């Protein structure tokens, strides 16, 4: 390949490789996986200081709750046939800069006993609620399209958009990214569970399986004689607490059907036994040297 060919190939590669990764949708997922139940808490936690969030009445009607439960069931059915949701609670908090909506629900159909193991289908961790989630007249899942983008477009001055807070992008791209944002699309949690951070608790007999993808962050600068910077941030994290010494796979978790505390006690016994063996192997006490002159050195006359 000649010089011109190599240069052309390098240019093509530079064009093909994105300069910055696209921003992912973001939410907080917390789940408790027991031998008889799967309880999930799914939260939108948003912060912005570009404008003020509207005052949303903290009243949740039966109609709103039923529609939210229907949206969860549709998303679960898409993720894995046989899964369904039973909505337990909806919690909402907000002020001028913070917006929080939490859906708490039980997942049905995720547990299957196979011999001495309980297999847990964890497809629910990466569900996508595509449609609106409207509580008290405010669409939380469409917060980007119905509130943030219109607020930005209504600003009469010049704006600068920075993905991840540092990478300058065009106004068109910035508006599109924010307008297409749907926090309850949990694609960021689709990574295989066995690649998440796994911690075993010997005292409580529980397993923590955790993932911390990047938050959604867009910096918006109001450009003028005195430029001011503003942040739009959606927090993203996932944490699953499972009974016993759980074994994560790609899309599920295996639990021993027995008592988790007995598993933890067995593991702790093995750790203590290993520590005792190390102490016995390297714990010989060296003999003390006799006091007086060192050997091999003659006394002075």
The structure's pTM equals: 0.78
Tokens 């001011």 belong to residue: 228
What pLDDT, on the 0 to 100 scale, is given for residue 298? 45
Q: How far apart are CA 177 and CA 22, in angstroms?
A: 9
CB 101 within 8 A of CB 90: yes
CB 228 within 8 A of CB 221: yes
What pLDDT, on the 0 to 100 scale, is given for residue 58? 83
What pLDDT, on the 0 to 100 scale, is given for residue 202? 86
Q: How far apart are CA 135 and CA 103, in angstroms?
A: 11
- The secondary structure of the chain, three-state, reads CCHHHHHHHHHHHHHHCCCCCCCCCCCEEEEEECCCCEEEEEEEEEEECCCCCCCCCCCCCHHHHHHHHHHHHHHHHHHCCCCEEEEEEEEEEECCCEEEEEEEEEEECCEEEECCEEEEECHHHHCECCCCCEECCEECCCHHHHHHHHHHHCCCCEEEEEECCCEEECHHHHHHHHHCCCCCECHHHCCCHHHCEEEEECCCCEEEEEECCCCEEEEEEEECCCCEEEEEEECCEEEEEEECCCEECCCEEEEECCCHHHHHHHHHHHHHHHHHHHHHHHCCCCCCCCCCCCCCCCCCC
What pLDDT, on the 0 to 100 scale, is given for residue 52? 96
Side-chain-side CA neighbours of residue 213 (13 Å)? 22
Q: Which among 68, 62, 129 is positioned nearest to 104, based on CA atoms? A: 68
CB 109 within 8 A of CB 84: yes
What pLDDT, on the 0 to 100 scale, is given for residue 25? 66
* Predicted confidence pLDDT, tens digits, the chain (301 residues): 555 444 443 333 333 334 444 555 689 999 999 999 999 999 999 999 999 999 888 889 999 999 999 999 999 999 999 999 999 999 999 999 999 999 999 999 999 999 999 999 999 999 999 889 999 999 999 999 999 999 999 999 999 999 999 999 999 999 999 999 999 999 999 999 999 999 999 889 999 999 999 999 999 999 999 999 999 999 999 999 999 999 999 999 999 987 544 444 544 544 454 455 455 555 544 444 444 444 444 444 4
Instruction: Please measure the distance between the N-terminal and C-terminal CA atoms of the chain and give it in whole angstroms.
Output: 87
What pLDDT, on the 0 to 100 scale, is given for residue 295? 47
What pLDDT, on the 0 to 100 scale, is given for residue 4? 47
């Amino acid at each position: 390949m000649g010089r011109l060919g190599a240069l052309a190939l390098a240019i093509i590669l530079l064009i093909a490789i994105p300069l910055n990764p696209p921003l992912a949708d973001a939410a907080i997922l917390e789940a408790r996986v027991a031998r008889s139940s799967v309880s999930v808490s799914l939260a939108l936690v948003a912060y912005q200081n570009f404008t003020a969030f509207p005052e949303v009445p903290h009243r949740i009607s039966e109609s709103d709750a039923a529609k939210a439960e229907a949206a969860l069931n549709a998303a679960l059915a898409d993720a894995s046939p046989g899964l369904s949701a039973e909505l337990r609670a909806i919690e909402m908090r907000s002020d001028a800069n913070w917006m929080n909506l939490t859906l708490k629900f039980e997942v049905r159909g995720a547990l299957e006993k196979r011999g001495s193991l309980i297999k847990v289908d964890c497809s629910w961790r990466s569900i996508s609620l595509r449609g609106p989630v409207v509580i008290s007249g405010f669409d939380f899942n469409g917060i980007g399209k119905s509130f943030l983008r219109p607020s930005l477009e209504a600003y009469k001055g010049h704006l600068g958009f920075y993905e991840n807070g540092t990478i300058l992008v065009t106004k068109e791209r910035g508006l599109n990214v924010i307008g297409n944002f749907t926090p309850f699309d949990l694609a960021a949690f689709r990574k295989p569970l066995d690649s998440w951070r796994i911690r075993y608790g010997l005292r409580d007999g529980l397993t923590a399986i955790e993932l911390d993808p990047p938050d959604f962050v867009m910096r918006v600068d109001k450009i003028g004689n005195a430029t001011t910077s503003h942040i739009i941030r959606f927090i993203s994290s996932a944490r699953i607490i499972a009974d016993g010494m759980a074994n994560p796979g790609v899309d599920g978790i295996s639990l021993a059907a027995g008592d988790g505390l007995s598993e933890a006690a067995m593991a702790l016994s093995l750790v203590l036994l290993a520590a005792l063996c190390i102490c016995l192997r390297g714990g010989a006490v060296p003999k003390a040297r006799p006091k007086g002159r060192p050997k091999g050195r003659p006394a002075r006359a």
